[in-house]
């Protein structure tokens, strides 16, 4: 079965393997387990430890680590965050088929009307790129 969707949480719930297309190219492909894993990090999962025990464990680990940070947290990654990372890398490498609009309305959507400059996005105003008067 093939599922094509932008609802990545649904894809994550239903699929075992994923292909991410961006810019007309395959940017990533594989099993969810492989794609979402962080290979340069090790996670040790335990029940909640008393603070004294946790300090002893961290002290022991820090003795063997020459560089890098030792943290205690609950790291997670889902398909959506992975997808956003893949797209950011593809954008940085200029791997796009031109799907970005640059805040302009495509000529064929304007129906021959002249494009109006878009307002500053940070102003919170609605941007109208082309329009018709009531009598047209």
Phi, psi for residue 64 in degrees, rounded to 5: -95, -5
pLDDT band at 104 (very low <50, low <70, confident <90, very high): low
Q: Is residue 123 part of a domain?
A: yes
C-alpha 91, offset from chain centre: 12
Whether residue 62 sits in one domain with residue 116? no
| pTM higher than 0.75 | no
| DSSP of 5-60 | -S-HHHHHHH-SEEEEEETTEEEEEEEHHHHH--TT------SPPPHHHHHHHHHH
Domain ranges, residue 120? 102-136
Q: Is residue 75 part of a domain?
A: yes
Whether residue 28 sits in one domain with residue 87? yes
Q: Using an 8 Å Cβ cutoff, are 79 and 32 in contact?
A: yes
Summarised one tens digit per residue, pLDDT across range 7-20 is 888 888 899 999 99
Token pair listed for 12: 């994550």
Return the bridge partners of 42, or none. none
Q: Is residue 1 part of a domain?
A: no
Q: Is residue 33 part of a domain?
A: yes
- Residue closest to 19 by CA, chosen among 5, 3, 9, 30: 30
Whether residue 135 sits in one domain with residue 73? no
Whether residue 79 sits in one domain with residue 69? yes
Q: Is residue 66 part of a domain?
A: yes
Summarised one tens digit per residue, pLDDT across range 52-102 is 998 898 888 888 887 767 777 655 678 888 888 888 888 888 766 555 556
| Residue whose pair of structure tokens reads 């239903």 in the numeric block | 14
């Amino acid at each position: 079965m093939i599922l094509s969707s932008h609802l990545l949480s649904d894809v994550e719930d239903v699929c075992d393997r994923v292909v991410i297309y961006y810019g007309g190219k395959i940017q990533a492909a594989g099993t969810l387990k492989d794609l979402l894993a962080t290979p340069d990090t090790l996670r040790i999962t335990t029940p909640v430890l008393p603070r004294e025990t946790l300090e002893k464990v961290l002290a022991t680990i820090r003795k063997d680590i020459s560089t890098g940070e030792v943290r205690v947290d609950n790291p997670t990654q889902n398909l959506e965050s992975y997808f956003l990372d893949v797209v950011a890398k593809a954008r940085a490498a200029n791997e796009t088929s031109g799907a970005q609009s640059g805040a302009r309305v495509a000529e064929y959507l304007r129906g021959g009307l002249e494009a109006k400059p878009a307002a500053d996005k940070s102003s919170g105003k609605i941007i109208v790129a082309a329009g018709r008067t009531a009598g047209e």
